[in-house]
Structure 1
Amino acid sequence: MAQEENTGVGSNEQEDLTTNTIDSLEIDLQNDLEEEPEEDTPDVDYSLLSKEDLVKALEGELAKVQHPEFKMSSFRQVETVVKEIRQIADQAKKEEREAALKVYIEETGAEEGFEFKSDEHLRQIDALSKEIRGFKQAFYQKQDKEKERNFTVKTELLQRLRQLLDEEEGRETDASGLKSSWEEFKKIQEEWKVAGNIASPHNGTLWATYNALIDRYFSNRHIYFELKELDRRRNAELKAELCQKVEELGKSLESRPMSREILAEANLIFEEYKHLGPAPKEEQEQLWQRFKLAMDVLYDAQRASYAEQKKSMKEHYEHKLAIYNEIAPFTAFQSSSIKEWNAKTKEIMAFQDQWVAHKGMMPRDEGKDLSKKFWGALKTFFNNKGEFFRQLEAKREVNLELKTKMCEEAEAILATGEDTPANTQKIIELQKKWKGVGQVPEKFKDSIYDRFKKTCDGYFENKRSKNKEVEKEFEENLAKKVDLIERIENAASSQDESTLNLLSAFKSEWSSIGFVPKKDMQATQKRYIAAINAYVSAIAQLSSKEKEQAVLESEVELVRDGENNRGLYRKETDIRRKVTQLENDIALWQNNIEFFAKSKTSDRLKAEFERKINAALEQLEDLKHQLTIIQEAI
């Protein structure tokens, strides 16, 4: 490339070119560029993303390679992302296929005839990966074709230059002929400069031939020496302007940090400097030293910036390594207590918050390995936690079997049609035993309860139909409960008389009253709960949270006294749904915070997400407390 300095000069001047100096600068610039830190890919753990998010990530990479200004050097980053996502997708496909095959074998008893079709997201990942590979192949093929075309163009230019020389040497050329020849020669020079790169095996040969022809041409141009000198002076002016541009870039570092954009601009100026012809002999070396000194200022600043960057990256790595060492023991945690699991979850989420909050790049390979280890430790902990709850669910299956047997016993008693004291006692004992059995799987909770309740209600309904005096007692109980409700309602209208002690007295009196007729049970219970709500609201010394808890405890006491608890089951289901939604929202918000870059805008977004997370955690704590109260009753 340094030999391009020869264009536009004669053979005498060619000996004056500082070829070694130009080559030296090219080597220095190449070494500096090789020392530049590679562009870091975002610190993203794709194994934590959903399939839909993996598809979106690949669509983003596809949009990059489709961009008209996409550069070949960026393919490495895109290939890294595609490779990671493909590995995750392949693993997911393998696991889903194995799971499907297992189910198929369990159902059919053999593997023959099994067919597996991956889901839409995995197929999208395959299609996007192939499309990106296609763009890559087309990109390199286009470059190869461009180099072949450039080789053809430069070969034709050499042929034109030889023909021009042969014509000048084979005839007498007057002034007009020399001028015409000079214009054709300059045109060939410009077209040569515009022509791009060619395949490396031919590059040296073409350059050697080109420069030999240039030397041969100028050896015949003594008559145009004055024109060459004018061209040299113009080159000197242009090179001085380029020196000034690079010097101004160096001065700008006083008010702004060194960046890749500044270095790229300097390299473009250097390319322009190389393609200019030589300056007058007495100025050539002086201009070159001035230009090289200005470039050295930029590269010294770039090296210093990179050294500081490496120091900062090491500090970030050490800080995050300390966080990882704190959570590593969590991977071995085991417990049979839900509270202990929840407590450990809060601890590990706090360390995750510290990890996410600490922004900054780490050394590429070490940082990537540490990030994988950190998120892998988190994944192991939550897998262990999930296994614990899966075992807990297995216990609920056992409870379902127990309650199913109790339903069958009650149904057998009801089928006899006998309401003897012994049968009645058996039903009562089954009801007590029912309360002592733990929870069943969520999807069977209502159906198994309805089955048992329908059987027990049927038994006692038959008993009521045979015992009018019992029904009379139920009517009397109804009157007592209505009277108690009216007293509670009257007391609620007077805030001065509303106290917790009187509320306890009302509850005790209600518990002491027996059953009411079935047809009035639900309406009486609703009216009682409404009266208690009004009375609790009238107690001035209670906070809103304490009032809500007092009402919930009243509902729980109704269940303990044998009242209809279907509404409480539904309330438990609703609270569990809210808890799950809040936990998912908190996890999503916490993961989103990690990907924000450092900027004023992202800081505001981060603060907003943190506010949401804190509010959600407070609400989650209240819901879990309510759930505990309900579970103690059910």
Structure 2
Amino acid sequence: MAQEQQEGVKSEEREDLTQKTIDTLEIDLNNELTEEHEEEVPDVDYSQLSKEQLVNILENELASITAEGSKPAALKKAESVAREIRPVLDSIKQKEKETALAAFVAENGGEEGFEYKYDAETQKIDSLSREIRGLKNSYYQGQEKEKEKNFNVKTTLLQRLRTLLEDEGNRETDASGLKSSWEEFKKIQDEWKQAGNIASPHNGTLWATYNALIDRYFSNRNIYFELKELDRRRNSELKAELCEKVEELGKSLETRPMTREILNEANHIFEEYKHLGPAPKEDQEKLWQRFKEALDVLYDAQRGQFAEQKKSMQENYEQKLKIYEAITPFTTYNSGSIKEWNAKTKEIMAFQDQWVALKGIMPREEGKDLSKKFWAALKTFFNNKGEFFRQLESKREQNLEMKNQLCLEAEAILETGEDNPSTTQKIIELQKRWKGIGQVPEKFKDTIYDRFKKACDAYFDQKRAKNKEVEEEFENNLKKKTDLIERIEAAANNKDESTLNLLSAFKSEWTSVGFVPKKDMQAIQKRYIAAINTYVSAIGQLSSKEKEQAVLESEVELVRDGESSRNLYRKESDIRRKITQLENDIALWQNNIEFFAKSKTSDRLKAEFERKINSALSQLNDLKHQLSIIQEAI
């Protein structure tokens, strides 16, 4: 029996060494898994986003961490996003408060009594950030409490094990006592296995104490070696089964890629292996080498995948570097044309779409630096564009001031009640100056025009009321224009004689005739446009597009000659609506094309959509040309 006990002590020493080797490997593997699978969070310039977009981002992050089955990585990512948004929010709040304070001081002459309440979106961003931060704190506090609880549980189990050892040494043990003691011992083992992790500084000490007490327990029992051998044979069978499971995971890589889920499953199996007691000494090292080789297959595959991922990250970096180099010239772009600025904006937005479409991650430091430079270049371009439009708006404000002055002059002439040739010429000169002034801010376009037109119309109405001779002249002009319309209608019936030259002659004759009575103005104008439409349709050598252009030019000429521009405003609105509809249709069709698979049927559908897009683009160009003609007139 003494010899058996000596062999048992040596065996225990080897088991302790094996257990320490397993614990060390566990730490190394976990560290390696953490380093190699740290998630890359794409860099985003949150200062470029609106408050509504920031709210949406935080709401999505909050939803991801409150959803069932969410992982700590999601919580870490959400807290990181909230932390990066915080300085952006502080900057927004500071700017808004400073703007409100400046306005308050300008209005009240001082800061006394100033109170400022942030808008709902700003408060929402603040609230979401605090909620995410609170969830993070609660999570880690819970983790710490759980570890403290597990520490207390394991400390209690060690005390129970010591008490069991003391009882074994202080009393004679019969068969029933051996059985109850063994059952209590196994119960302590099961509870120890079920207890969770604890704070790392105490983990090694507790495990060392636990293993030492277990060894003492088996040493104090007369049936130690028999039970140990049985337990070892059982452990050998269980460890062999665990080896087979890990080997099956390695074989599965032949038909599926390496994933984090596979590594997690392998780690779970490793946890089971570690908690199993020793196998017979002749099998112990063989089983461990078999298990380690099976694990190595998985980690070799994971390392190879990570090397491939590094290659992909570098390729993604190089592609994004080309995009950044392509937009660098945009930072110095300058133009005095709205159309050219809008064209350049479409170009740079296309590059931005390419950047966003590259979803892969880049090397951490290089990618972060490149992202900052890319978004800074975009910001510079749009700052320059904003400065151009601010100057343009300033010019329109000046135009508004000049048109307001013309309104005042026209209203002053009207108030005098005079209608002599001198005042009439002044009104006409005011109308010419009005046409020479550019556009005003969009929100004042109709009101300022109506004001000026009202003053001019009132002057000429007053003049008509005082001068019957002029009214007779208007009646004669009405007759002349009616005769001219009838001649145009008659000419339209003879398609062989319908020509552009004759059309120009008709237009010139119409222009040479003066005003008609106001009550007949709209009717004669409509009839004239209808006659011109009919005549243009009769000109055989013109395409439908050229005919439509000729009719539009006729309407524009009417406005330039002092006729009502109400129809042109209506036509402008209709053309804008058609342009918007066509642009939406084109965008939808272009998006649909991307979803067509490669097949005969999809190729036909794709060709049909491309035909629709080309046709719509042609219509869009025509409508934009018509819109530019109308805008020049009004």
- Say whether the fold is shared (TM-score over 0.5): yes
Using the TM superposition, give the Cα deviation of residue 103 of structure 1 relative to its aligned residue in structure 2, in angstroms: 1.5
Instruction: Tell me: CA distance 1:198–1:354, structure 2 relative to 1, closer, same or farther (3 Å).
Output: closer
- State the match for 1:273 in structure 2: 273
Mean Cα deviation higher: 257-266 or 296-305: 257-266
Q: Distance in 1 between matches of 2:87 and 2:489?
A: 67
Using the TM superposition, give the Cα deviation of residue 573 of structure 1 relative to its aligned residue in structure 2, in angstroms: 6.1
AA aligned to 2:317 is Y
AA aligned to 1:172 is E
CA displacement 1:483-531 (0-9 Å, x = unmatched) = 5545666777898887656654544443333222111212332344455
Q: Secondary structure at the match of 2:631?
A: helix
AA aligned to 2:234 is R
Kept in 1, the 8 Å contact 2:64–2:74? The answer is no
Instruction: Tell me: CA distance 1:280–1:86, structure 2 relative to 1, closer, same or farther (3 Å).
Output: same
CA displacement 1:576-603 (0-9 Å, x = unmatched) = 688799999999999x99xx9xx99xxx
> Are 1:140 and 2:149 counterparts?
no
Q: Distance in 2 between matches of 1:127 and 1:373?
A: 31
Q: Secondary structure at the match of 1:207?
A: helix
Listed as ranges, the matches of 1:570-585 within 5 Å are 571-572=571-572
Using the TM superposition, give the Cα deviation of residue 246 of structure 1 relative to its aligned residue in structure 2, in angstroms: 1.3
> Are 1:151 and 2:151 counterparts?
yes
Mean Cα deviation higher: 108-117 or 617-626: 617-626
Instruction: Tell me: CA distance 1:527–1:184, structure 2 relative to 1, closer, same or farther (3 Å).
Output: farther
Q: Distance in 2 between matches of 1:588 and 1:141?
A: 50
AA aligned to 1:453 is K
Q: Distance in 2 between matches of 1:494 and 1:365?
A: 79
- State the match for 2:565 in structure 1: 565
Q: Distance in 2 between matches of 1:76 and 1:233?
A: 44
Q: Distance in 1 between matches of 2:193 and 2:490?
A: 101
Using the TM superposition, give the Cα deviation of residue 136 of structure 1 relative to its aligned residue in structure 2, in angstroms: 1.2
> Are 1:382 and 2:389 counterparts?
no
Q: Distance in 2 between matches of 1:51 and 1:582?
A: 31
Unaligned runs of 5+ in 2: 1-6
Using the TM superposition, give the Cα deviation of residue 547 of structure 1 relative to its aligned residue in structure 2, in angstroms: 5.1
Kept in 2, the 8 Å contact 1:148–1:199? The answer is yes
CA displacement 1:107-139 (0-9 Å, x = unmatched) = 122222221111100001111111111111111
Equivalent of 1:16 in 9, 14, 17 = 14
Using the TM superposition, give the Cα deviation of residue 544 of structure 1 relative to its aligned residue in structure 2, in angstroms: 6.1
- State the match for 2:121 in structure 1: 121
CA displacement 1:268-326 (0-9 Å, x = unmatched) = 11111111111111111111101111111111111111111111111111221122122
AA aligned to 1:374 is F
Q: Distance in 2 between matches of 1:184 and 1:10?
A: 22
Q: Distance in 2 between matches of 1:495 and 1:228?
A: 116
Kept in 2, the 8 Å contact 1:477–1:515? The answer is yes
- State the match for 2:421 in structure 1: 421
Kept in 2, the 8 Å contact 1:10–1:218? The answer is no
CA displacement 1:129-185 (0-9 Å, x = unmatched) = 111111111111211221221122112211211221122211111122212211110
Instruction: Tell me: CA distance 1:53–1:12, structure 2 relative to 1, closer, same or farther (3 Å).
Output: same
- State the match for 1:403 in structure 2: 403
- State the match for 1:633 in structure 2: 633
Q: Distance in 2 between matches of 1:505 and 1:107?
A: 62
AA aligned to 1:424 is T
- State the match for 2:311 in structure 1: 311
Mean Cα deviation higher: 83-92 or 291-300: 83-92
Q: Distance in 2 between matches of 1:105 and 1:92?
A: 20
- State the match for 2:525 in structure 1: 525
Instruction: Tell me: CA distance 1:117–1:571, structure 2 relative to 1, closer, same or farther (3 Å).
Output: farther
Listed as ranges, the matches of 1:165-564 within 5 Å are 165-485=165-485, 503-533=503-533, 546=546, 548-564=548-564
Q: Distance in 1 between matches of 2:121 and 2:416?
A: 58
Kept in 1, the 8 Å contact 2:79–2:136? The answer is no
Mean Cα deviation higher: 362-371 or 505-514: 505-514
Q: Distance in 2 between matches of 1:44 and 1:383?
A: 19
Mean Cα deviation higher: 247-256 or 620-629: 620-629
Q: Distance in 1 between matches of 2:263 and 2:588?
A: 40
- State the match for 2:164 in structure 1: 164
CA displacement 1:420-439 (0-9 Å, x = unmatched) = 11122111111112111112
AA aligned to 1:262 is I
Instruction: Tell me: CA distance 1:121–1:540, structure 2 relative to 1, closer, same or farther (3 Å).
Output: farther
AA aligned to 1:210 is Y
Mean Cα deviation higher: 200-209 or 177-186: 200-209
**Number of matched pairs:** 614
Using the TM superposition, give the Cα deviation of residue 479 of structure 1 relative to its aligned residue in structure 2, in angstroms: 3.5
Kept in 2, the 8 Å contact 1:32–1:299? The answer is no
Q: Distance in 1 between matches of 2:276 and 2:493?
A: 98
Instruction: Tell me: CA distance 1:493–1:232, structure 2 relative to 1, closer, same or farther (3 Å).
Output: farther
CA displacement 1:405-426 (0-9 Å, x = unmatched) = 2222222222222221112211
Using the TM superposition, give the Cα deviation of residue 384 of structure 1 relative to its aligned residue in structure 2, in angstroms: 1.3
Q: Distance in 2 between matches of 1:78 and 1:388?
A: 38
- State the match for 1:6 in structure 2: none
Mean Cα deviation higher: 338-347 or 313-322: 338-347
Mean Cα deviation higher: 67-76 or 499-508: 499-508
AA aligned to 2:457 is D
Instruction: Tell me: CA distance 1:439–1:145, structure 2 relative to 1, closer, same or farther (3 Å).
Output: same
Instruction: Tell me: CA distance 1:100–1:376, structure 2 relative to 1, closer, same or farther (3 Å).
Output: same
Q: Taking every aligned residue pair, what percent have the same amino acid on both sides?
A: 75
Q: Distance in 1 between matches of 2:633 and 2:43?
A: 48
Mean Cα deviation higher: 279-288 or 494-503: 494-503
Q: Distance in 2 between matches of 1:165 and 1:28?
A: 34
- State the match for 2:3 in structure 1: none
Q: Distance in 1 between matches of 2:156 and 2:382?
A: 68
AA aligned to 1:361 is I
Instruction: Tell me: CA distance 1:359–1:148, structure 2 relative to 1, closer, same or farther (3 Å).
Output: closer
- State the match for 1:87 in structure 2: 87
Using the TM superposition, give the Cα deviation of residue 266 of structure 1 relative to its aligned residue in structure 2, in angstroms: 1.2
Instruction: Tell me: CA distance 1:420–1:208, structure 2 relative to 1, closer, same or farther (3 Å).
Output: same
Q: When the two structures are superposed, what TM-score results if normalisation uses the length of structure 2? A: 0.87
- State the match for 1:77 in structure 2: 77
Mean Cα deviation higher: 342-351 or 448-457: 342-351
Kept in 2, the 8 Å contact 1:313–1:360? The answer is yes
Mean Cα deviation higher: 14-23 or 147-156: 14-23
- State the superposition RMSD in angstroms: 3.6
Instruction: Tell me: CA distance 1:524–1:542, structure 2 relative to 1, closer, same or farther (3 Å).
Output: same
- State the match for 2:54 in structure 1: 54
Q: Distance in 2 between matches of 1:476 and 1:483?
A: 11
Q: Which has the higher contact order (CA 8 A, sep 6+)?
A: 1
CA displacement 1:363-385 (0-9 Å, x = unmatched) = 23332332232122112211211
CA displacement 1:49-79 (0-9 Å, x = unmatched) = 3212211211111122223433334433112
Q: Secondary structure at the match of 1:15?
A: helix
Q: Distance in 2 between matches of 1:496 and 1:229?
A: 118
Q: Distance in 2 between matches of 1:615 and 1:268?
A: 62
Listed as ranges, the matches of 1:23-38 within 5 Å are 23-38=23-38
Instruction: Tell me: CA distance 1:38–1:541, structure 2 relative to 1, closer, same or farther (3 Å).
Output: farther
Kept in 1, the 8 Å contact 2:400–2:440? The answer is yes
AA aligned to 1:84 is E
Using the TM superposition, give the Cα deviation of residue 575 of structure 1 relative to its aligned residue in structure 2, in angstroms: 5.8
Mean Cα deviation higher: 63-72 or 614-623: 614-623
Using the TM superposition, give the Cα deviation of residue 229 of structure 1 relative to its aligned residue in structure 2, in angstroms: 2.1
AA aligned to 2:427 is I
Instruction: Tell me: CA distance 1:508–1:103, structure 2 relative to 1, closer, same or farther (3 Å).
Output: same
Q: Distance in 2 between matches of 1:437 and 1:529?
A: 27
